[in-house]
Structure 1
Amino acid sequence: MIANYCKKLKYKRKIILVTNACGDMDDDDVPSIVDKLTSDGIELVVIGVDFDDAEYGYKEEDKDPRKQKLQKLVDQANGLIGTMQQAIEELGTPRLKSTRPVPSYKGQLTLGNARTSEAAMCIDVERYPRVMVRRPAAASNMFIPSDKGKASAQSSSAVQNGSHTSQEADSKPSDAPPSSRMYQVEDAKAEDGKRRISPEDLARGYEYGRTAVHISESDLNVTKLETQAGMEIMGFVPQANYHRYMNMSVSWVTIAQKTNNLAAIALSSLIHALYELESFAIARLVTKADKEPVVVLLAPSIEADYECLLDVQVPFAEDLRPYKFPPLDKVITVSGKKITEHRNLPSDSLNEAMGDLVDDMDLSHTGRDEEDNPTEFMQLTDTFSPVLHRIDQAVRWRAVHSKEPIPPPYEILTRYSKPPDEIIERSKGTLAALIEEADVKQVPPKAQSRKRARNQVKPLSGLDVGSLLGKKSKKAKLSPDNAIPEFRQTLDSAESLSVIHDAAKQMGAIIETQIKESFGDLRYQSALEKLGVLRNEMVEVEEPLAFNQIMTSLKTRLLVGDLNGDRREMWRLIQGAKLSLIPKSLSSASDVDDEQAKTFLAMR
């Protein structure tokens, strides 16, 4: 059946035989069976039920002759044989999916201008990914058919102009969740103030300040660089001058063109020259015509069985983030004096204690191999992506068991989620010494959120200083220049709800004034910060209604242009910061649910 169906096509041919070896077996046809399996490229896997297994301490009588016949068949066919217990445990070991190598670049690696100089070097090369992130399977929009007898799920189909654009199987068109996209612009003459427009009427553009700059389709080529595919070496740098933080991409491997011996010899000479001189090459790479050029660093790699160039993308000037942080080994005073002994700097004894802990937690000899010899604990070949294989496990389980709960992750996926017990036990003493040397103390629990009735700090004498001095409390007026600290101080000393509400109104007025008087978007970030503080404080004092009223009024004034012109850019910043109404999930005193808070952020 396999030979008739698969023919000579590229199928994975495998026969899995599950047997208890209790029936009669005739091994006269074993040679012909082996020849057929070998000629058709069929893999044979025999899983024995109740087979002898010394590892699990099980021995079954009266099966040795039959098992020997199966073992003979498997050996001659280059197959596999094992017990059912082994097969079940193997299910917990992820299977790595082999990927077909796809070159990202096929062309020439050049040094010098081949058009103008005869001394230029041109090598035919191919570039493949060396390390590439494997993403887990992504969930797509699905729906269960209305017929409860069906267990399969159907993909949703898009609706355009009232008709379904994708084919559907075993389901009615009305069962599919419809989806459509609609574009609207403001139009005072329309009934609802908005007019629908066709997607064909839209044009691409760029933001220049607060102006939308339209570039027609005929001019789009101006924004693109006209480039030709190629990898051109621009120069060389010593390995010591390159810093690891400049790696911007996954690593790629460049090899000589296959079946091109001259290219292999030329590339090998370049690789050995870089290796002997301890240098890297800097190259300009364009993988395809009219594609954006990138700068890559080429590093030599020489192994026992192959040679290649490894490359990673390096940044342009605009890609660097030159942040400056204070040094960790010294303190620089205002006068420029450098202090190496300070309470904020680690002492020699602290460094020694930390070094001892690092040595005790060394993983390079913590693991055990098959012969119980010390080896590396986390070997790359045994370290699998927990997220990727957990999703795969859950999907496969749910496909077969639609109602049963999903089992816990496989042990191999959680094996490296914590240090091994041997390391934990070994490092207890050094960890205790480090804690003592560093004077580590337990951080007190975070203070409870401030509620409506705040407990005032009382002096040790128990006297009311305010009453003794005869000062009468009065409502504080917030200063726009120091609004946030004064607002928080007012809430801390508030004795009634009226004081809280008045402070919130003042804060709202300051925010609106900043937006109204802002030149362009100059003061938008300051107003956004105050709005966030106002929202957080109203959540803590459980007064969501005060904030929601201020927020509703602010949105209305922003969208109708009541704050000195078009200020919708401020509303976009509010949307980006997700400063919506306070819902019930944040404060039980609110009358807004989560869906209403989400809808409130829409531009309408």
Structure 2
Amino acid sequence: MEKEATIYIIDVARSMGRKHNGRNQSDLEWALQWVYDKITNVVFTGRKTLQVGVVGLGTDDTNNEMQGDTSYRHICVLQPVAQILLPELQNLPQALKPSNTDDRDVLSAIIIAVDMMMRHCKHLKYKKKIVVVTNATGSHIDDDDIESTAEQFKTNNIELVVLGIDFDDPEYGFKEEEKPQLKEENEKILKKLVDLSGGVLGTMQEAIDELSRPQIKPVRPTPTYRGQLKLGDPAQYDTALCIDVERYFKTSVRRPPTASAYVVKPNGAAQEQAENLTNVHNLYKYKVKGEEYEGGVKTLDREELARGYEYGRTAVPISESEQNITKLETEMSYDILGFVPMDNVERYMLMDNTNMIVPQRGNDEAALALSSLIHSLYELGSVAIGRLVKKDMAEPILTLLSPLVETGLECLIENVLPFAEDIRSYRFPPLDKVLTVSGKALTEHRNLPSEGLLQSMSEFVNSMSLIHGGDVEMMAIDDTFSPLLHTIEGAIKYRAVHSIDPEHKNELPKRSEAFDSLQEQPLELRERSKVALQRLIEAADVKKVPNKVKGRRRYRDREAEKPLSGLNVEELFRKTRPPTERGKAHISPDNAIPEFKQLMSSTDNMEIIKDAVRQMQEILQDLVRSDFGGQNYSRVVAGLGEMREEIIGLEEPTLYNAVVRELKEKIFSEQLGGNRRELWWAIRKSKLGLISQDEDERSDIDGMEAEQFLNKVPKPQG
């Protein structure tokens, strides 16, 4: 990749510590948002070819190659041009603080930066840039050497970018009112330098506004396959088609960075800086029990193990020497297997990442042949089915090749076809008719929409269109970004800069306004669709469902809420229940969950509730004892979950906690018919552990204790 060197000249004079134009941040704090974003982006890439230098302008001290000349005082080289890593990045916030002087000269700092750039880059091929951040107040800029300095930028091919705080920018539409005369004169001098050197002068307001929009990071295209695209076997048929092609990524899923495990070095435990951390290395040991081994246990290394493949509930071992049997011997190739009409391509076939197949670079014959194939597919409305082997002995994959013809671009778009096991087919009843038991189709039914409802829904959908005025798109795809991806990256970059800053150590950055705006419906769209929505509500006869009342159920008013239909089914059940069953708990093992739930909703008597919980506990334990092959485990988990939910509603956590404690003890002591450890894994997966104080403040179990209870498994006895 091309080498790049960028030097940032940051003005840290006393005037940069003041606040202007109604901002609640000083000029320096405001500008550093942009500077840190650019530098952390460089650190994020980890590329050695991206090198950064930082020069402090208006510092209390002087530290540069020309410090013997008084013209270059109050200028410090804070970071030489080099690859910047996390330790150097974390040192910048301490160095970039407002000083106690306004005595400095921007032009002198630019000359220092040019000298640094040429000493580092020499005559090697670099993309060179110098960025100046200043408010241009406090002292006059000496413009005696402005022509010779501009010539240095042109001669050495260095790009100059000046970002001025509150600088006027007619193109962006920003103008500072009542600007001091000194600042106005300095702006003119810097503009003259930029014009002479062919650089860029901008206002910091524009740079800050751009931070709300994530930058599109260019990716260097790298071919993932270079070879021939074949139709037919050229070894047998001289009519076979062979085209030299290259394969590149077109679109792929980008995921947020994952966390890595680090530990503090023993000799640096007192410090928390990045250089005192080291990677965690895993060492795996495997133990096999057996009476023939000394001590009953033998320790094995991973190299001594064989791979095991599941066959039902049995593991079939295949040693490394036998792996050749299962491996398909393949050669690198890309073959077209056939063609199908484009109408036969289902949407689920195009869900994977996409690649593009283009002719070999510089090969006109291949370009002409591939163009003929692409246009043939395009005109016939067909796609090709291909078989790709990226390299020798690699697993073959089946692909779908679709033609793409645009101005200046012709290629085949490749999608990897899914396996049959990847497809989940579900059958749903039709939406436009209701089938009776006899097979008769009804087109009018209470579950089918009326013409008025369909028309109202159509009008509402049309009013919600993001395309307004024919071609004005309110939320273009190019203006939408992944909040998850960029929010996590922003948090990482912010903490990287402020991790050792006591004022910001435990803070996270505010979310970008661009992401907040995408989470709400545009006001214009909301107003436009309001009338259509009201008509839809009336046509669908939508009624508001009362909120579920929370609280201690046994102490609140038991008067049942009247259902919207006017028919209270639960009240009918209470009336039809035999008198001998009222006032006592009786749960049938054959219908335990519904009866338990109905009983809990029909009584406030704690004695009856405790008896119901006891019966439910016995039923669940009996299901475990009589289980064979884990057939009853799902019923046990469902019953335990229903019991937990009902008891949380009663705010009596000790009832459930006693049940689950006894169940765990009996499982691991094998009192429920043998080894039932798999049941506990199912309970853990469903998170049916102790009720902690996080769920019910009346519980005497804290969150840590509840987590340990669920995850800690006793060792087998003996």
Q: TM-score range by the shorter chain?
A: 0.7 to 0.9
| Alignment match of 1:25 (pick from 112, 124, 143) | 143
Which residue of 2 is the match for residue 176 of structure 1? none
* Cα RMSD (Å): 3.7
Q: What's the CA shift for 1:72?
A: 5.7
Q: Measured at CA, do residues 389 and 426 of structure 1 come closer, stay the same or move farther in structure 2, by a change above 3 Å?
A: same
- The yes-or-no answer on 1:152 pairing with 2:273 is yes
Aligned AA (2:121): C
How do 1:224-303 residues align onto structure 2 when only pairs under 5 Å count?
Answer: 224-303=327-406
Superposed CA deviations along residues 488-541 of structure 1, whole A, max 9, x for unmatched, are 123233453332233223222222332332331233222222222222223223
Q: What's the CA shift for 1:188?
A: 9.5
Which residue of 2 is the match for residue 348 of structure 1? 451
Q: Measured at CA, do residues 542 and 143 of structure 1 come closer, stay the same or move farther in structure 2, by a change above 3 Å?
A: same
Superposed CA deviations along residues 416-461 of structure 1, whole A, max 9, x for unmatched, are 222222222222222222222222221210243663457656899x
Which residue of 1 is the match for residue 155 of structure 2? 36
- The yes-or-no answer on 1:503 pairing with 2:608 is no
- The yes-or-no answer on 1:56 pairing with 2:174 is yes
Aligned AA (1:53): D
Aligned AA (2:652): E
Superposed CA deviations along residues 78-97 of structure 1, whole A, max 9, x for unmatched, are 53211233333333332222
Tell me if structure 2 keeps the 8 A contact 1:545–1:590: yes
Which residue of 2 is the match for residue 175 of structure 1? none
State the alpha-carbon separation in 2 of the partners of residues 349 and 425 from structure 1.
22
Which residue of 2 is the match for residue 91 of structure 1? 211
Mean CA deviation greater in 146-155 or 404-413: 146-155
For structure 1, the residue ranges without an aligned partner over 5 or more in a row are 160-164, 166-178, 368-373
Using the size of structure 2 for normalisation, the TM-score is 0.71
Which residue of 1 is the match for residue 130 of structure 2? 15
Which residue of 1 is the match for residue 57 of structure 2? none
Tell me if structure 2 keeps the 8 A contact 1:109–1:124: yes
Tell me if structure 2 keeps the 8 A contact 1:142–1:155: no
How do 1:44-443 residues align onto structure 2 when only pairs under 5 Å count?
Answer: 44-54=160-170, 55-58=173-176, 70-71=190-191, 73-75=193-195, 77-141=197-261, 152-153=273-274, 156-157=277-278, 197-200=299-302, 202-365=305-468, 375-401=472-498, 402=501, 403-404=503-504, 405-443=507-545
Tell me if structure 2 keeps the 8 A contact 1:143–1:153: no
Aligned AA (1:329): D
SS at match of 2:618: helix
Mean CA deviation greater in 491-500 or 260-269: 491-500
For structure 2, the residue ranges without an aligned partner over 5 or more in a row are 1-115, 563-570
Identity of aligned residues (%): 44
Using the size of structure 1 for normalisation, the TM-score is 0.83
Tell me if structure 2 keeps the 8 A contact 1:281–1:299: yes
Aligned AA (2:117): I
SS at match of 1:123: strand
State the alpha-carbon separation in 1 of the partners of residues 166 and 156 from structure 2.
26
State the alpha-carbon separation in 2 of the partners of residues 388 and 430 from structure 1.
35
State the alpha-carbon separation in 2 of the partners of residues 242 and 123 from structure 1.
25
Q: Measured at CA, do residues 10 and 600 of structure 1 come closer, stay the same or move farther in structure 2, by a change above 3 Å?
A: farther
State the alpha-carbon separation in 1 of the partners of residues 123 and 298 from structure 2.
57
Aligned AA (2:129): K
State the alpha-carbon separation in 1 of the partners of residues 560 and 685 from structure 2.
42
State the alpha-carbon separation in 1 of the partners of residues 196 and 355 from structure 2.
40
Mean CA deviation greater in 301-310 or 514-523: 514-523
Q: What's the CA shift for 1:128?
A: 1.4
Q: What's the CA shift for 1:111?
A: 1.6
Which residue of 2 is the match for residue 542 of structure 1? 651
Q: Measured at CA, do residues 119 and 32 of structure 1 come closer, stay the same or move farther in structure 2, by a change above 3 Å?
A: same
Aligned AA (2:488): I
State the alpha-carbon separation in 2 of the partners of residues 395 and 51 from structure 1.
31
Q: Measured at CA, do residues 388 and 205 of structure 1 come closer, stay the same or move farther in structure 2, by a change above 3 Å?
A: same
Aligned AA (1:36): T
State the alpha-carbon separation in 2 of the partners of residues 526 and 328 from structure 1.
33
Superposed CA deviations along residues 348-406 of structure 1, whole A, max 9, x for unmatched, are 22222222222222222379xxxxxx732222333233233333333333444432344
Aligned residues: 572
- The yes-or-no answer on 1:587 pairing with 2:696 is yes
State the alpha-carbon separation in 2 of the partners of residues 184 and 594 from structure 1.
33
Q: What's the CA shift for 1:277?
A: 0.3
State the alpha-carbon separation in 1 of the partners of residues 424 and 551 from structure 2.
37
Q: Measured at CA, do residues 155 and 195 of structure 1 come closer, stay the same or move farther in structure 2, by a change above 3 Å?
A: farther
Q: Measured at CA, do residues 7 and 185 of structure 1 come closer, stay the same or move farther in structure 2, by a change above 3 Å?
A: farther
Q: Measured at CA, do residues 393 and 301 of structure 1 come closer, stay the same or move farther in structure 2, by a change above 3 Å?
A: same
Which residue of 1 is the match for residue 85 of structure 2? none
Superposed CA deviations along residues 184-229 of structure 1, whole A, max 9, x for unmatched, are 66789999x9968344355432333433333222223444433333
Superposed CA deviations along residues 166-189 of structure 1, whole A, max 9, x for unmatched, are xxxxxxxxxxxxx87665667899
